[in-house]
């Protein structure tokens, strides 16, 4: 590794890989250094929770092969995190002491798990999270001797893990403070359908509950005390959410709030530094945590780091998952329903809810209409009127 690159990208998830592509597409002559603290080759992290029962073959999970990096004029460094950004010198110092200069920098550090009040991150070993390949391997090792698993969380990650645990013939219990499953993505009927799916698979659900304590017992399990329940579980798995990784940016003096503050071009408070993906906080205050959103932002940030002048166009991205034999789609579910016209349709195991505002589609929830998923996404982003939705999407 020599002492300078045209562009340095920190983080090699979907946003980081897309940033390399965006930069190369804009100017193939740019030299790029891609830095990832994960020791494994860049891989699709969203598959971790979907393949726990089958394992993680390297060829299936790698985002790009070695040839791709050469074609992108990119050097990949894994297992060596960036330790410090010197904005005045325009240099990145790696944890092994090497220093590399940059012309432009793209931050794509992603997010990290949120921990309940009762635990601290350094207490690893008494609980598990799933955010990286190493996390997945530790969890798989623990599950070999486990039967009962307590999952703290009611969101999509918790449901995907419950699906995998049932496939592994484990007994999962989900606990959460919310009164329904996937409260950010599902309406009342959608959550009810999901609950029915889980109960048929004998997944135990404890709503409006909170873990008060969990302590190792004599049989290598954990005595868990909840608000109104208690029990013994072999494994405790925390899935209550994620938060942007902002430490490197904050230490460098960049503007940081809930995430790393960016403008419509994904530039940070330093015009030579861009940020994309889970760590970026957009001008309207949003922080997104979706794979395709991070990918889109990465391409734009990379292009702008290479000299482009592209702006976010306001498009929104779907959440989708497949659990217990059902496909679930959600995009733009509103919090305040008072200004929306809502239409729901249900045929056997298929369901759709459309949210119209001002005569235009602004959100949708769907079960088991996967072949038309891209049409649903298009309809919301383009704001189809009622007649077109009725003509092209009704069950």
d(CA 36, CA 20): 13
32: Cα separation from own chain's centroid: 25
Beta 260-261 vs 222-226: how paired, if at all? unpaired
Are residues 75 and 20 in contact, defined by beta-carbon separation less than 8 angstroms? no
33: Cα within 13 Å, side-chain hemisphere: 25
pTM, rounded to two decimals: 0.94
Instruction: List strands edge to edge, sheet with 211-216.
Output: 211-216, 222-226, 230-233
Per-residue pLDDT of the chain (395 residues; tens, 9 = 90+): 558 999 999 999 999 999 999 999 999 999 999 999 999 879 989 889 998 988 876 656 889 999 999 999 999 999 999 999 999 999 999 999 999 999 999 999 999 999 887 776 556 667 899 999 999 999 999 999 999 999 999 999 999 999 999 999 999 999 999 999 999 999 999 999 999 999 999 999 999 999 998 888 777 788 899 999 889 999 999 999 999 999 999 999 999 999 999 999 999 999 999 999 999 999 999 999 999 999 999 999 999 999 999 999 989 999 999 999 999 999 999 999 999 999 999 999 999 999 999 999 999 999 999 999 999 999 999 999 999 999 999 98
d(CA 122, CA 45): 22
The DSSP line for 106-168 is EE---EEE---TT--GGGTTSSB--SSHHHHHHHHHHHTT-SEEEEE--SHHHHHHHHHHHHT
DSSP strand E in 217-257: where? 222-226, 230-233, 235-238, 242-244
Residues paired with 93 in a beta bridge: 84, 99
Residues paired with 206 in a beta bridge: 175
Domains in the chain, CATH or no CATH each: 4-112+242-305 (3.50.50.60), 115-238 (3.50.50.60), 325-392 (3.30.390.30)
């Amino acid at each position: 590794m020599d002492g300078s690159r045209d562009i340095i990208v920190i983080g090699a998830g979907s946003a980081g890989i897309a940033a390399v592509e965006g930069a190369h597409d804009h100017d193939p002559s740019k030299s790029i250094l891609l830095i990832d603290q994960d020791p494994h080759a860049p891989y699709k992290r969203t598959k971790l929770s979907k393949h726990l029962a089958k394992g993680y073959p390297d060829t299936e999970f790698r985002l790009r092969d070695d040839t791709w990096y050469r074609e992108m004029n990119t050097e990949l460094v894994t297992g060596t995190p960036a330790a410090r950004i010197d904005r005045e010198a325009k240099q990145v110092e790696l944890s092994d002491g090497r220093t590399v200069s940059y012309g432009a920098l793209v931050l794509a550090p992603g997010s990290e798990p949120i921990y309940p009040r009762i635990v601290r991150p350094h207490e690893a070993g008494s609980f598990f999270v799933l955010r990286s390949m190493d996390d997945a391997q530790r969890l798989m090792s623990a599950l070999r001797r486990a039967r009962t698993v307590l999952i703290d969380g009611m969101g999509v990650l918790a449901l995907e893990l419950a699906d995998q645990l049932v496939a592994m013939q484990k007994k999962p219990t989900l606990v959460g403070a919310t009164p329904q499953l996937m409260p950010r993505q599902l309406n009342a009927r959608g959550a009810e359908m999901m609950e029915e799916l889980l109960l048929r698979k004998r997944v135990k659900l404890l709503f409006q509950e909170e873990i008060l304590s969990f302590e190792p017992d004599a049989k290598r399990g954990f005595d868990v005390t909840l608000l109104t329940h208690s029990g013994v579980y072999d494994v405790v798995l925390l899935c209550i959410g994620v938060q942007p990784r902002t430490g490197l940016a904050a230490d460098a003096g960049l503007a940081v709030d809930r995430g790393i503050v960016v403008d419509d071009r994904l530039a940070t408070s330093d015009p030579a530094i861009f940020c994309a993906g889970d760590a970026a906080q957009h001008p309207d205050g949003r922080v997104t945590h979706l794979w395709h959103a991070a990918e889109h932002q990465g391409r734009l940030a990379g292009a702008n780091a290479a000299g482009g002048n592209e702006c976010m166009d306001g498009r929104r991205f779907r959440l989708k998952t497949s659990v217990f034999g059902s496909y679930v789609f959600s995009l733009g579910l509103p919090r305040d329903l008072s200004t929306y016209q809502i239409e729901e349709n249900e045929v056997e195991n298929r369901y759709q809810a459309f949210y119209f505002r001002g005569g235009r589609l602004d959100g949708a929830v769907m079960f088991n209409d996967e072949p038309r998923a891209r049409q649903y996404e298009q309809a919301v982003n383009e704001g189809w009127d009622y007649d077109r939705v009725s003509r092209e999407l009704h069950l």
